[in-house]
Amino acid sequence: MRVTKKDIAEYVGVSRSAVSLVLNNSPSSTISQKTREKILQAAKELGYVGPEIHRKLCFVLYGRNPDDPRYMYDLKIVENAASRLGYSLIFMNIKADPQDHKKLSKFIQSKEAEGYVVTGDLDDAVIDLVLNENVPYVFYGGTERENANIVVLDHEKGACEAVKHLISFGHRRIAFFSGSLDMHVHRKNLAGYCRALEEFGIPVDKSLIQVSREEDGYELCGRMQVLGIDYTAIFCVNTVIQFGALQWLKEHGVSVPSQVSLVGYGYSELVKLSKPQLSTFLVTPAAREKVVSRLVDIIHKKDVSPQVVFLSDLECYKGGTVAAAAVHQHSPVSG
């Protein structure tokens, strides 16, 4: 027999109009938080099915612009995976400041969502906040915290495979373009870059390791020219840096990939918008969906012990920015 709003009202001991206000999430509602929680819980327990109520997860992007193309790709994957498991997804963009911390804390306490995927530039403040709220969560991204539920891309492996791809095309002077090395993810990228070179007996030349806090590949290419550092290929830790590097090379008459090859790590809409399309190594969408299945397992208390899950299944999007190195191995943009 179908459960109605009247059934919920009688079960909780409130009016039918109160149930309607809560299930419709009416902004004008003056119903107390305690009563609201009782109504929502009763709806779940009784098996109420209606357009007003459905289970929700929350995707929290922390310390990054809400339109950052790298995270929008993950947001789409998480949303699709959540939908298949019967959840809708709420998106929140939270700044790294006390006011937004309060905003997130208040939202968590509303119990609007059953679990949280928290990603972005994770710091101790947001990690402690989520842990202290005692809700189902997964930190999705690089963090060195222990005793926490973490799902992380295998950044070291991704960088290593991308650099080995360049080496297979005969490149030896391979630049490393990165954001701040204060970030855990970029240190892992650097470790993968060095590991690939060492496997092939190529000395690590520190002059080829270039960092931009603004993650500006355009600026990094210009810096390489001013310093007279020669290279025939660049590994970029993300496609934003890679896209910027490509623009500088094109504007300065350097042919990509016949003169300089570019390979990135990760995926964003820039990959296909670029001309030529960007060559990049990425963790497969199927592997990325594990962040949702892991969170749902935690919600259902199937496995709540804190652990780190690495996503290591890689694929290469070939694009058009990698080609064989010139025999002379001398950069066309050296000083």
Q: Is residue 70 in a domain?
A: yes
**Cα separation of 246 and 141, whole Å?**
26
pLDDT above 60 (res 116): yes
pLDDT above 90 (res 143): no
Question: Do residues 32 and 105 both lie within one domain?
Answer: no
Q: What is the CATH number of the domain that holds 271?
A: 3.40.50.2300
Residues 51-75 pLDDT 10s? 555 678 999 999 999 888 889 999 9
The closest alpha carbon to 174, from 119, 133, 231, 227, belongs to: 231
Question: Do residues 274 and 289 both lie within one domain?
Answer: no
Question: Do residues 27 and 42 both lie within one domain?
Answer: yes
Q: Is residue 335 in a domain?
A: no
Asked if 72 contacts 268 with a C-beta cutoff of 8 angstroms, the reply is yes
Q: Is residue 162 in a domain?
A: yes
Looking at residue 333, its pLDDT comes to 64
Q: Is residue 327 in a domain?
A: no
| Its pTM surpasses 0.75 | yes
Looking at residue 288, its pLDDT comes to 95
Q: Is residue 35 in a domain?
A: yes
Q: What's the average model confidence in pLDDT over 191-197?
A: 98
User: In angstroms, what CA-CA distances link 3 with 6, 11, 26, 50, 265?
Assistant: 8, 11, 21, 9, 50
Question: Do residues 149 and 291 both lie within one domain?
Answer: yes
pLDDT above 60 (res 330): no
Question: Do residues 169 and 273 both lie within one domain?
Answer: yes
Q: Is residue 147 in a domain?
A: yes
Looking at residue 218, its pLDDT comes to 98
Question: Do residues 190 and 256 both lie within one domain?
Answer: yes
pLDDT above 80 (res 105): yes
Cis peptide before 136 (omega within 30 of 0): no
Domain extent, residue 18, equals: 5-46
Q: Are strands 137-140 and 115-120 parallel, antiparallel or unpaired?
A: parallel
Q: Is residue 319 in a domain?
A: no
Question: Do residues 178 and 131 both lie within one domain?
Answer: no
Question: Do residues 36 and 9 both lie within one domain?
Answer: yes
**Cα separation of 295 and 262, whole Å?**
35
pLDDT above 80 (res 144): no
pLDDT above 90 (res 142): no
User: Could you say which of 282, 298, 324 is where a domain stops?
Assistant: 282
Question: Do residues 147 and 68 both lie within one domain?
Answer: yes
Q: Is residue 135 in a domain?
A: yes
Question: Do residues 181 and 273 both lie within one domain?
Answer: yes
Q: Per the structure, how many domains does the chain have?
A: 3
Residues 173-188 pLDDT 10s? 999 999 999 988 999 9
Question: Do residues 167 and 264 both lie within one domain?
Answer: yes
Question: Do residues 40 and 28 both lie within one domain?
Answer: yes
